[in-house]
Amino acid sequence: MLRISIICVGKIKEKYMQEAITDYSLRLTKYVKLNIIEVPEDQSSDTNKRIENECDAMLHKTPSDAYKIVLDLKGKELTSEKFAEQINKIPLQGISHIVFYIGGSDGISQLLRDKADSSFCMSKLTFTHQMARMILVEQLYRAMKINNGEKYHK
């Protein structure tokens, strides 16, 4: 079974977001083994240091055999269908673990971008990192439904 990890900065503070993430996570158990790994928000007063520390913490939690995807405003925007197609192609390369990175409110480091195998942008709109996590989990579920030819996506 494909393993997917979402490595992200901070905790979900809003109850409704956590409920949605939990709901979609449970739905995903039919298709993948999902693991959400939270690293703490860095408290440094220097923004660059904060970004560097948070990204280092995410990299430290990354399995060496994983295919790494960073959510990045500089990444390519994908439709839900293209996203599903990309997810479907990764196991065909003999890879059984995908890691998604979601940075904190200050963004991500260039080092994290460089270490990633690919990147994508959810939207040109700005979302909180908590909202990005909720949307990613929903899109992963949508991708599984698309890839399995099941009803959900229209």
Angle between helices 129-147 and 15-28 in degrees, nearest 10: 20
> Domains in the chain, please, with CATH?
2-147 (3.40.1280.10)
**At residue 144, what is the residue type?**
M
Helices (H) and strands (E) in the chain, counts: 5, 5
Q: Look up the pTM and report it.
A: 0.95
SS3 state of residue 54 = helix
CA angle 88, 136, 108 (to 5 degrees): 105
pLDDT in tens, 93-129: 999 999 999 999 999 999 999 999 999 999 988 888 8
Phi–psi pair at 66, nearest 5 degrees = -85, 150
Strand partners, 36: 6
Token reading at 17: 């977001």
Q: At residue 151, does pLDDT exceed 90?
A: no
Q: Give 13-66 pLDDT, tens digit per residue.
A: 999 999 999 999 999 999 999 999 999 999 999 999 999 999 999 999 999 999
